Amino acid sequence: MAVGVTDKRREAFILVLLCLAQIMVVLDFSIVNIALPSVQKDLGLSTQNLQWIVSAYSLTFGGFLMLGGRMGDLYGRRKLFMIGLFLFSLASFAGGLAISGVWLIVSRAVQGLGAALIAPTSLSLITTNFAEGPERNKAFGLMGAMASLGFAIGAILGGLLTAGPGWRWVMFVNVPLGLIALILGPLLLAESRVHSEQRRLDVLGAVLVTAGLVILVYALARGNDLGWTSLSTLGLLLAAVILLVTFVLLEAHSSSPLIRLSLFRLPTVTGANLVNFIAPGVFGALVFILTLYMQKVLGYSAIQTGLAFLPLACVILIFSNASSRLITRVGAKPLLLIGLILTIIGLLLFLGLSATGSYVGTLLPGMLVVGLGMGIAFATVVIVATTGVSDDGSLQYHHAGRLRPDPGDCHRHSRCADGWTDAKW
């Protein structure tokens, strides 16, 4: 940074950079959804295999998300942030050159791996650059709003690019954004890491959780063809459960887990992570289904489909920004509950979808209510999930007005440095 730039200005520039990275991750989700029918026609994919263009990204993203966060803690958040940007940009370029469905799906999987490095390090860089409280709440709220803006831009760009130069440009568009972020990263971000004697990575845990999720999704995708009670489907579901249970047991006994299970002693952390697990999955499935519904049932063009999602994105943008400002007054948990109730009501409105449906009468009401609910939920869930969690991933407990370390970090059957035993914790 140039001499004379104030801390506030530096924080503002850092937030812009991290929001840009978040926009890339979300932009790639919505922009690809709009292009799916064109991709299917060009590469000759079946509707069943088409979902893997979306799922390959989300599975590697979710499967390696914890590993990405752990690597950032140990080896440097800025370093992993930059590596993630490079992988994401390179995979975007490769995906635009795809000549087969397998090529594109593999490129999407690598994009997800890059996003798995970008997302957790972005959040960590916010927690290390902004103090917990109003400043951090505003930063998280703005990041949520920018993510919504990325969705809106993706929906419109997806239609324009698919109808114009072609669907390949929905992949190429990430490259210049990635290059800008790669240039700005070293100039704005200071390196940060957790100082720990334990520097072992739980690679086995990452492989177990990713393999379990992939098998689970494959079983659910093939259930109709193989039969839900067939030995193949039941075997796949059993294998997925075994892998995921093994992952949990491994994390409980590992000296260097991907995630400290003690974090879930805090009810707000458990509830917020559960919501963060379900809500994006529901939202992603909704966008996927509505895209195919509008283009294949209602006969919308790619541009019309992109513009049709604009009210949904705008409502999310407006209310995610407004919610981040209300959190300090109302509290995060009441807002989160309101957001979830509104989202459920909005989803119920889509039960009226039919072959003779219309945009204004059938789609728009559900989009507006879901957008309102998701806008509130997206802005609050991250704040709830990170409140009380320290920089090194442990919990902070209050006692007699002082912050104390996570009791799980104290040595078993021994007294903590200040004289508090495990039992007293």
Amino acid at 266: L
C-beta separation of 327 from 383 below 8 A: yes
Q: Which residues of the chain have pLDDT under 70?
A: 1-6, 132-133, 144-145, 147-149, 151-152, 195-199, 221, 268, 382, 385-425
pLDDT number for residue 385: 65
Report field, pTM of the whole predicted structure over 0.75: no
Q: What is the C-alpha separation between 347 and 276, in angstroms, rounded? A: 17
pLDDT number for residue 195: 65
pLDDT number for residue 199: 63
Beta bridge partners of 397: 404
Number of H helices, E strands in the chain: 15, 2
Three-state secondary structure of 131-200: CCCHHHHHHHHHHHHHHHHHHHHHHHHHHHHHHCCCCCHHHHCHHHHHHHHHHHHHHHCCCCCCCCCCCC
pLDDT number for residue 157: 83
pLDDT number for residue 8: 74
- CATH class, 8-193+256-397 region: mainly alpha
Amino acid at 106: V
Q: What is the C-alpha separation between 343 and 374, in angstroms, rounded? A: 6
What Rg, from alpha-carbon coordinates, does the chain have?
Answer: 22
Q: What is the C-alpha separation between 54 and 50, in angstroms, rounded? A: 8
pLDDT number for residue 144: 67
